[in-house]
Amino acid sequence: MAHEPFEKLAVWQRSIELVETVYQLTRGFPADEKSGLAATLRRTVTGIPARIADADGQEDPGKAQQGMTAVSGMIRELHTYAVICRRMRFLGYMQYSSLRRRLRKIDLMLQRRIDLLEPAESSDSPDTPKVKVKQPAIKRAA
């Protein structure tokens, strides 16, 4: 699936920017949350670009699709943590809203990538899922 370096993927680049944002936001958390929610947010957000890179490097389109779907789950997980942080008043309304918008944008980008991978018609065993890569080519950022 990887035709160009994963660093050129717009969704990967956006997720790196998200890492920076989350690290900046969590710096303002209470000291007793540095090993709690702040650490959890940081662990989750850093996994997103790493998983995108891994999924993009998969030769098997089915595995690439699974990897991107897992990243989408991580986005929902991060959104849940953001809701908790907002309710605990660790994030202001504007910080939360901005983070939520970024998460939605990245998730939409992921969904487009996932949609480019569709189940292929198989004359083999019905138990063997196959996927094919749809065209057009995946848009990458410059």
d(Cα 43, Cα 49) in Å, to the nearest integer?
Answer: 11
Residue 82, number of CB atoms within 10 A of its CB: 23
* Amino acid 117: pLDDT: 72
* Amino acid 127: pLDDT: 52
pLDDT bin (cut points 50, 70, 90) of residue 59 is confident
Q: What is the mean pLDDT of residues 37-46?
A: 96
pLDDT bin (cut points 50, 70, 90) of residue 68 is very high
Q: What is the mean pLDDT of residues 4-31?
A: 94
Q: Are 71 and 110 in contact (CB under 8 A)?
A: yes
Distances (CA, A) of 26 to 20, 30, 45, 73: 10, 9, 12, 21
- Enumerate domains of the chain plus CATH numbers: 6-133 (1.20.1440.60)
pLDDT bin (cut points 50, 70, 90) of residue 61 is confident
pLDDT bin (cut points 50, 70, 90) of residue 3 is low
**Lookup: tokens for 140:** 């990458």
Residue type, 129: P
Distances (CA, A) of 13 to 50, 93, 118, 138, 140: 11, 25, 24, 15, 10
pTM: 0.79
Report the share of the chain in percent with pLDDT over 90.
67
Q: Are 52 and 9 in contact (CB under 8 A)?
A: yes
d(Cα 127, Cα 58) in Å, to the nearest integer?
Answer: 22
Q: Are 19 and 48 in contact (CB under 8 A)?
A: yes
pLDDT digits (tens, 9 = 90+) for 89-142: 999 999 999 999 999 999 999 999 888 876 544 444 455 454 444 544 455 554
